[in-house]
Amino acid sequence: MKEQYTRTAMVIGEKALYKLRGSRVLVFGAGGVGGNAIEALARCGVGTIGVVDNDTVAASNLNRQAVATQKTLGMLKTDAAEKRIHDIDPDITVHKYPLFYLPETKEQIDFANYDYIIDAIDTVTAKLDIIETAKNLKIPVISAMGCGNRIDPQKLTVTDIYKTEGDPLAKIMRRELKKRNIKKLKVVYSTEKPVKPLFEEQGSRRHTPGSTAFVPSSAGILIASVVCRELSGYDPENRD
């Protein structure tokens, strides 16, 4: 066991730590939620991390995204995520998919090579396809709902999609998942009512939500916690 994982092992046990080392997690989105999930997965020693994102790091990402620093501005987020992961542990295997995920591009990713899937993107069509593909392959999946225009991370919770309320994205997802006969989905969502942005971002072609360092990052860490506990078989009453 590497020294850097000693304190994690003190909590979850060495057996759980080794399970994480042998686990493979695929993360869709390396932004505020996904990037922080990726970092937490790396710090827990997950052995293989796949990163799907077609975007580059911009100055507007610096307020909340783990992959965004002054040194990574302009880099592909997949490259920035790989650098971040290897700055933490160079022995972690990283698979990069610098693409915009849609049903038309799904063949470029072998879902079956992974043990858990994290959906941290905001395009509804893509989210639905990721979730449906994971369900068909019987791969566990957890999905992030809206984190923009919010400031209180204490309002985040893990629940089933059909128990969510007050989240515009979750409302659309509930409706579309029903059409696809998907009866349950583990999600992280906020009970905080989103506020209306005070102004539009200059140069933006769409209604970009405001964001903070608090909610997206906390959602990503919460997602990573769920994934690591499930993959490691963590049991507080039976640790070794």
pLDDT at 65: 97
CA nearest to 25, candidates 223, 240, 234, 239 = 223
Helix or strand (DSSP H, E) at 179? helix 168-179
The chain-wide mean pLDDT, for the chain, equals 96
Residue 204 has pLDDT above 70, yes or no: no
How many Å apart are CA 179 and CA 19, to the nearest integer?
A: 36
CA nearest to 227, candidates 14, 4, 50, 32 = 50
How many Å apart are CA 187 and CA 145, to the nearest integer?
A: 7
| Class of residue 70 by CB neighbours under 10 A (exposed 0-12, middle 13-18, buried 19+) | exposed
How many Å apart are CA 118 and CA 24, to the nearest integer?
A: 11
User: What integer is the mean pLDDT of 209-215?
Assistant: 96
pLDDT tier at 201, thresholds 50, 70, 90? confident
pLDDT at 70: 98
User: What integer is the mean pLDDT of 54-63?
Assistant: 97
DSSP string, 25-87: EEEE--SHHHHHHHHHHHHTT-SEEEEE---B--GGGTTT-TT--GGGTTSBHHHHHHHHHHH
Least confident of 25-34, 122-131, 192-201: 192-201
CATH of 3-141+214-232, one of 3.40.1030.10, 3.40.50.720, 3.90.1150.10, 3.40.30.10: 3.40.50.720
Q: Are 175 and 127 in contact (CB under 8 A)?
A: no
What are the sequence ranges of the domains in the chain?
3-141+214-232
Rounded to two decimals, the pTM is 0.96
